[in-house]
Amino acid sequence: MGLFSKDIETMNDLFVHTLKDIYYAENQILKALPDMIEKATDTGLKQGFKSHLEETRNHVSRLEQVFKLHGVEVEGVDCPAIDGILEEADEIAGEVADKQVLDAALIAAAQAVEHYEMTRYGTLIAWAKQLGRNDCASLLEQNLKEEKAADTKLTTLAERGINAKAA
């Protein structure tokens, strides 16, 4: 189902479509993180990925709660955007031989993922509120808060050592 398919007529349809998009994305991220944990050398980075894997499991279950609150079937819809970001991450990681440079590359890839999630959650929260679903918005806000924190943590790891070791 493309974004401009006739299946989307109302604001509510658009909200549900985008909810399915981020649900698919979170599940793809769940599959990608173990590989990133394995590839990371820096112990702080490895630990950061591990704790974000746990958080991502909670993101999936919060999204499932949003589907239920909104009375729609829990389902994903292909998101070529997240597939592309994860594909690129995998490709670049495969090309970097030096362990320290690889850590810097993994951070860059992970931050692209976090920013994708942040844009989706920001939109979904605004739309949920517009549709009178503050209950859904508050669950989505919890996910957004953790994505932002993960992004900030990655910046700190990069700037307080990993970039310098890579250079």
- Under the rule (CB under 5 A), what is the footprint of Zn ion? 56, 59, 117
Q: Which residue's CB is nearer to Fe ion, number 21 or number 141?
A: 21
Phi-psi region of 82 (alpha: psi -120 to 50; beta: other; left: phi over 0): alpha
| Residue 86 interacting partner from Fe ion, Zn ion, none (CB closer than 5 to 8 Å by kind) | none
Q: How far is the CB of 167 from Fe ion (least distance, A)?
A: 27
Using CB under 5 A as the binding rule, whether residue 26 contacts Fe ion is answered as no
Q: For residue 66, what are its two tokens?
A: 């949003």
| Nearest to Zn ion of 56, 166 (CB atom) | 56
Q: Considering the complex, state which of residue 25 and residue 162 has its C-beta at the smaller distance from Fe ion.
A: 25
Outline where 7-42 has alpha helix (H). Answer: 11-39
Question: In this complex, which beta carbon is closest to Fe ion, that of residue 81 or of residue 126?
Answer: 81
Please tell me whether residue 124 binds Fe ion under the rule CB under 5 A: no
Which does residue 141 bind out of Zn ion, Fe ion, none, counting CB within 5 to 8 angstroms by kind? Answer: none
CA-based R_g, the chain, Å:
17
Closer residue to Zn ion (CB): 113 or 166: 113
Interaction residues for Fe ion, span 143-162 (CB under 5 A)? 147
For residue 167, the tally of other CB atoms under 10 A from its CB is 8
Which of 16, 36, 45, 79 touches Fe ion by CB under 5 A?
Answer: 79
The answer to whether 146 and 53 have CB atoms below 8 angstroms apart is no
The listed partner (Zn ion, Fe ion, none) that binds 103, CB under 5 to 8 Å by sort, is none
Task: At 63, give phi and psi (nearest 5°).
Answer: -65, -40
| Non-local CB neighbours of 86 within 8 Å, separated by 6+ positions | 28, 29, 32, 113
Nearest CA to 71 out of 24, 136, 130, 11 is that of 136
CA distance 150 to 123: 19
Chosen from Fe ion, Zn ion, none, partner binding at 79 (C-beta under 5 to 8 Å by type) = Fe ion
Site residues for Fe ion per CB under 5 A: 21, 79, 81, 117, 147
